[in-house]
A = this chain, B = another copy of it.
């Protein structure tokens, strides 16, 4: 992972110098790495030009500690290994939560903030299945797909990378989710404690989401969307890019479908992802959707007649050649599972 100035164990003075160097204005990740390479160590770099003060770093570290967090410094044990390999790896990360998640194999799930209900549902299913298969799920805590993925992966392990400081609650809609991830998962932030999230921080945040991960799964990326850029960045980082396809009639899939044309791996279910990496901790059985257990013939028949376009229930009964009562029963079960939407005129569609 690291040669030269990046030794697996760094002494406290060097660590302190790295914190000061990293918190110096105008020193970004690439300059940080160059400075270390040029001077041989952060201590030498700090002796040669003006860096952030000792006190300034100590103040931030104390604030972070009060919030229950700590710094992860590039080059020290515990800093995420996959991320450390990037040429623009963050010099420091603030972290709150379960640091052991960083030692596990991670997959990112990203997508539209203005996602469809179906897309959010699918992202949640994928996240839960990947979690059951032993993967940690990383994302950016945005509304829509990100939030759905984090939430579903909370029980098995999820890492949220914030665009602002680690104390910043953003977006407000996800405040309680952010709190839950701090308690049961892991929050990471590159920007200093107390920094409000600004526009240019989001693509920088995205490179960390994909950088932490062995692969990235895109659910609902429109043309010229942030998720599309994240996917391209992930590919440049050498990460596998997985994409959930969608109807070309829905502009929310324009970017996704283009990614697949450009060579991304089409995803039909979690197995299409897991099979690329192998199962890290559990067997394939556990990956199957729980709802598939009740796949008796009536359910299967009704499901095969249902789609994302609303269909009259009468037509379903006629087409499925099952009794109206059975169709009603199956529809109710699907509705309770959150898989069915009802529409005007006694029509139903899959979510």
Contact = CB atoms under 8 A, between A and B. Distances in A.
Contact of A116 (B261, B265, B309): B309
Interface in A239-285: 244-254, 257-258, 260-261, 265-269, 272
Interface string A221-254: 0100000000000000000000011111111111
A350 interface: yes
A114 B351 contact: no
A64 interface: no
A247 B245 contact: yes
A308 B305 contact: no
A248 B260 contact: no
Contacts of A250: 306-308, 350
Contacts of A114: 304-305, 319
B251 A244 contact: no
A116 B266 contact: no
A70 interface: no
A118 interface: yes
A117 B308 CA distance: 10
Interface of A: 114, 116-118, 121-122, 222, 244-254, 257-258, 260-261, 265-269, 272, 303-310, 319, 341, 343-344, 350-351
20 contacts: A116-B308, A118-B249, A122-B247, A222-B304, A244-B248, A245-B248, A245-B257, A246-B247, A248-B268, A248-B269, A250-B307, A250-B350, A251-B304, A257-B268, A261-B265, A261-B266, A261-B268, A310-B343, A343-B343, A344-B344
Given A118-B309, A251-B307, 12 more contacts: A114-B304, A117-B309, A118-B308, A222-B304, A247-B308, A249-B351, A251-B304, A251-B306, A257-B266, A261-B266, A343-B343, A344-B344
